[in-house]
Amino acid sequence: MEKKEKQISPFLVFFLIHKIQLGVGVLGFQRDIIKFAGNDAWIIVIVAAILVSISLWFMYVLLNRHQVDLIDIHKDLFGKWAGGALSIIWIINWILLAVTVFRNYIEIIQVWIFPIINVGMISVIFIILIYYCISGGFKVVAGLSFLGVVIPFYIFMTFLYPLEYANFRNLLPVWNHTITEMALGTKEMMLSYLGFSTLMMFYPFIKNPTKSQKWAHFGNLFTMVLYLFLMITTIVYYSEKQVNRYVWATLSLWQIVEMPFVERLEYIGIVSWLLIILPNISLNIWAATTGAKKIFNIKSNKLLIGLLVLLWLFVILIKNSDTIAKLNQISSMFGMGLIYGYVPILTVISFIILKRRRKKDGKVTN
């Protein structure tokens, strides 16, 4: 476990889990899900959240058993080399998630605000902010996550405006799609929930970490409530055919909002969203940096600069929407495979290996 002065209170896990789940995907997650599940898409939001809670339970079973982060768990169970190789896969996953969130956000800025913006230049500005945040240590990242929930929360109040024109009959009939369609929709929804695997890196930075489990589940529940609210609002405001025409349905909802002091609310919303995605990217890069430091025994500052340069290169090399869509798909499948496949398997393997060690130690003692 880390020193007490570097640790955070258990309740802050609520903000860390929620913030890592709520990224740029919330601005346009509806279309891909409604494409499969139609008016039943709101059910998928709940199902996906339940799957996340199950995964969180597996993570806490594993972490509470070892009381260390994922890198040390791999090393303890599989040795230095095999464990290091497995850890590198997770580091790639966190970098990939950071690139996905970062590049999608810049695409939104390009499409909605500044079509001819220099991607390389604006990326540098954002990366300087990310470096400043991560170099301050994990407590700064956690504090930014807290502020990233509290300060921009007013944004979600603006989505009450479309309810004035809502047709709640669009929600009926309930469950009129097949299990296959619902499963495909759930797979699409999972990308919006990904990122909470960073818990396995910041676990040692929590005071009394076993007490933080309820806050992790509350954070996931809060994320589900926000996604559910936006999904229901989208279904009752748009028709299914209309949703298919909007890449960013959430942003399009802002276009109907009329206020006497602002004409284009989506501009304010997109800029304010920086406070939401900044801790998201920072936490993923922090997890990757912390993990790489343990594996390669390199100073964290050099690793951080190297990873941020890598992040910048990926962002400027991804130039069109088709490539971004492929990136989203790869990131989703890779992340889902690790969280819903690897984590439960690792938990079972951990139980078996530790049980054998206890038996062996008992025989030696006798």
Q: What is the pLDDT of residues 33-90, one digit of tens each?
A: 998 888 999 999 999 999 999 999 999 999 999 999 999 999 999 999 999 999 999 9
Which pLDDT band holds residue 268 (cuts at 50, 70, 90)?
A: confident
Residue 172's H or E segment, with its range, is none
Report the CATH number at residue 119. Answer: 1.20.1740.10
Provide the token pair at 38: 């139609």
Q: How many helices (H) and strands (E) does the chain have?
A: 18, 0
Of 200 and 364, which is predicted with more confidence? 200
Residues 119-134: pLDDT tens digits? 889 999 999 999 999 9
Place of tokens 């997650």: 29
Cα separation, 129 vs 134, whole angstroms: 9
Residue 195 has pLDDT above 60, yes or no: yes
Dihedral (Cα; 320, 326, 330, 332), 10-degree rounding: 90
* 3-class secondary-structure state, position 8: strand
pLDDT at 363: 61
Residue 10 has pLDDT above 90, yes or no: yes
Closest to 184 measured CA to CA, from 17, 8, 35, 335: 35
Residue 316's H or E segment, with its range, is helix 300-317
Asked if residues 265 and 64 have their Cβ atoms less than 8 Å apart, the reply is no
Number of domains, the chain: 1
E strand spans, the chain: none
Measured N-to-C along each axis, helices 300-317 and 274-296 cross at an angle, to the nearest 10 degrees, of 130
High-pLDDT (> 90) share of the chain, % = 54
Residue type, 196: F
Q: What distance lies between CA 306 and its chain's CA centroid? A: 22
Average pLDDT over residues 141-154: 88
pLDDT at 366: 47
pLDDT at 156: 82
Which pLDDT band holds residue 116 (cuts at 50, 70, 90)?
A: confident
Residue 364 has pLDDT above 60, yes or no: no
High-pLDDT (> 70) share of the chain, % = 96
pLDDT at 204: 94
pLDDT at 11: 94
Which pLDDT band holds residue 2 (cuts at 50, 70, 90)?
A: low
Average pLDDT over residues 342-354: 94
Average pLDDT over residues 323-347: 91
pLDDT at 261: 65
Segment among 3-12, 312-321, 355-364 with least mean pLDDT: 355-364
pLDDT at 192: 81
Residue 148 has pLDDT above 90, yes or no: no
Domain containing residue 317: 4-365
Cα separation, 204 vs 42, whole angstroms: 35
Q: What is the mean pLDDT of the chain?
A: 89
pLDDT at 201: 95
Cα separation, 11 vs 317, whole angstroms: 39
Which pLDDT band holds residue 309 (cuts at 50, 70, 90)?
A: very high
Residue type, 58: F
Highest mean pLDDT among 110-114, 193-197, 198-202: 198-202
Residues 197-233: pLDDT tens digits? 999 999 999 999 999 999 999 999 999 999 999 999 9
Q: Give the C-alpha distances (Å, rounded to integers) separating 198 from 20, 111, 156, 241, 290.
A: 8, 30, 25, 37, 11
